[in-house]
Amino acid sequence: MVGRKHSAVPRIGTRRATAIEFDVGISVNPDADRKHICSHTENDFAVRGTSKRSGRVIERRRRRWATDTFSLREQPVLHRTPTAPLKETISMDGAHGSHMRFADVAVHTLSSPIEPPQERDFYGGMRRLLKRDFALAIVETRDGRVGYAPTAATNSAMREYFEGTSHTDLADLLETRVADAFAGVDVDGPSDIRAVVTDLDLPTKLEAEALGVLDVAYYDLRGKELGAPIHELLSDRDIDPEPLELYASAGMYMDPEGYAEQARALQKLGFSGYKYRPGLGPEADERTIRLIREAVGDGMDIMVDAHTWWKLGDRSYDFEQVVALLDAFETHDPYWIEEPVEPADYEAYERLAARTDLPLAGGESEESVAGLRRLADNGVSYLQGDVRHHAGYTGCLTCIDDCAARDDIAFIPHNFGTNLGLVANGHLVAASPEDVRLEYPVFGDGVEAMYPFPLAEDVLETDLTIEDGHLVLPDGPGLGVEVNESVIEEYPYIEGAWTEFEYEDADA
């Protein structure tokens, strides 16, 4: 199937977090519960194997390094094509360049209204889409330089179960306690940021999100100072990334035929993967994936974002219903099943992984990097961190290194916001040792889109090049894009939730 070359390994039972050494691009893990066949291309290599439990042939691609022999921890970033000379860069523990002091942290929460509101029926209720929120963080240094970062905004459908924190909590925190804590502090690297923020003893979720803002803004600032894009700063060598492969993220509560039509439209646009959100009821959900597979054939991967299954009120699917549904889905070869059980229910993930041969995915709703790392040990084959939610590049790279040292899991970033978030996570993908795809949420009014969200594009002055399902990652300094600060006035914040759910009585 198209894009299968970017696949990670479905769960294969025995897990071994063995440190892996590579010699001339060949992966060796003598204790692994599988047979490995390594094949080379000019600039990368594939590790193929067969799961003893399911018999599925799997393949994952890792990018080749410029050096012949290396340790994963010693050189934690890929080098796709050894062309450019070494450049002065920063490391995870320090920086080459001037001391940096944060003078101001401002967070602007914005809203992009959906007019008129859209109503989508699901199994046992209706979802109303009112707006999309976005928060833009601007960090200014004492010498007047500015760095940007996308920020967690209002709780989304996937995150609304968290209690006690909101976008206003994060914005107020960053602009007051966090900004005050950095007064007079020299920031030489991400470790300095972490030291200051962790000393504040914040709630776990807020700490991870505050670190995400400051870490991304720091790399944007340092990249502008050094004249290097962020993906080069995350490595110890220059990188010349090819266009990043995207998978289309759309498909929100429509009839089964509508999903199939949308998948077909996105396939024609060049996307190799289609993620959709089921929740129409077990029978309709099975019919939906069957129609999608019939529509796209074997030329497109299908990702199932199943977070609705445990959010249907009295009609939420119980564990055995989920198992039965995955058994029915297996015929249609989904690429992964995302968040099929409630986040942080690690035991349920592990039990489900033992009952299905389908790869599981999750992570976007984890409150911390520690939560991501715990989930990685409980049955998922795809770990979905996000620089906004999981301590920025520094936090996500920790998980990427963990995944790269194993042959049963891959890190694929979550991204469901604006083009600024797309670029921020794109630099993470470019600096990853795994050749993975990036989530591209499709907004607009056409058959291929979920709903209109013009702020997603308007936040950037820079026009992104997205062609044939690939993103040309900007290679300018820092994030490499020009942020359009006029959106602060053009998209004022609208109070209230961005989406509402109404549930029917299951006994009615």
What's the pLDDT band for 419 if we cut at 50, 70, 90? very high
Where would I find the H helices in 174-281?
A: 179-181, 190-198, 204-226, 230-233, 256-268
Query: Residue 171: what are its φ and ψ, rounded to 5°?
Result: -60, -50
Q: Provide mean pLDDT across the span 154-168.
A: 48
Residue in 222, 220, 190 with CA at minimum distance from that of residue 87: 222
Across the range 35-39, mean pLDDT stands at: 29
User: Helices then strands (H, E): number in the chain?
Assistant: 14, 20
Q: How confident is the model at residue 99 (pLDDT cuts 50, 70, 90)?
A: confident
SS3 category, 354: helix
pLDDT at 97: 59
Band of the pLDDT at 32, cuts 50, 70, 90? very low
> What does the pLDDT read at residue 238?
64
Nearest CA-CA partner of 239 in 59, 426, 37, 53? 426
Alpha helices in 297-441 (DSSP H): 319-329, 346-355, 369-376, 392-404, 419-430
Average pLDDT of the chain is 82
Lowest mean pLDDT among 9-18, 185-194, 323-332, 371-380: 9-18
The topology (CATH level 3) of 241-483 is TIM Barrel (3.20.20)
Which sign, positive or negative, has the C-alpha torsion 332, 333, 335, 336? positive
Residue 103 binned pLDDT confidence (cut-offs 50, 70, 90) = very high
8-state DSSP, 483 = B
Instruction: Report the pLDDT value the prediction gives residue 506, as an integer from 0 to 100.
Output: 58
∠ at Cα 491 (487, 497), nearest 5°? 135
Average pLDDT over residues 140-156: 86
Q: CA-to-CA distance for 106 and 488, rounded, in angstroms? A: 11
pLDDT confidence of 356, banded at 50, 70, 90? very high
pLDDT of 144: 95
pLDDT tens profile 447-477? 999 999 999 999 999 999 999 999 999 999 9
pLDDT at residue 311, as a whole number: 83
Helix (H, G, I), strand (E, B) or coil at 360: strand
Phi and psi (nearest 5°) for 168?
A: -70, -35
Asked if 375 contacts 346 with a C-beta cutoff of 8 angstroms, the reply is yes
Q: Collapse the DSSP code of 71 into the 3-class scheme (helix H, G, I; strand E, B; otherwise coil) and give the result.
A: strand
CA distance 218 to 212: 10
Band (pLDDT 50/70/90 cuts) for residue 12 is very low
Range name among 75-89, 128-142, 412-426 with the lowest pLDDT average = 75-89
DSSP reduced 3-state for 496? coil
What are 292-324's pLDDT values in tens digits?
999 999 999 999 999 989 988 889 999 999 999
**Nearest CA-CA partner of 114 in 452, 418, 487:** 452
Res 192: pLDDT: 97
**pLDDT at residue 216 is higher than 70:** yes
Structure confidence at residue 314 (pLDDT): 86
Note the CATH architecture for domain 102-232: 2-Layer Sandwich (3.30)
Residue 424: pLDDT over 70: yes
pLDDT of residue 308: 87
Which amino acid is it at 414? H
Q: How confident is the model at residue 167 (pLDDT cuts 50, 70, 90)?
A: low
Domain ranges of the chain: 4-71, 102-232, 241-483
Averaged over 392-399, what is the pLDDT? 96
Of 274, 294, 276, nearest to 285 by C-alpha is 276
What's the confidence (pLDDT) of residue 79? 30
Give the separation between CA 61 and CA 47, rounded to whole angstroms.
6
pLDDT in the model for residue 504: 84
The rounded percent of the chain whose pLDDT value lies above 70 is: 77
Provide the pLDDT for residue 155: 52
Q: How many beta carbons lie within 10 A of that of residue 34, not counting itself?
A: 19
pLDDT of residue 507: 59
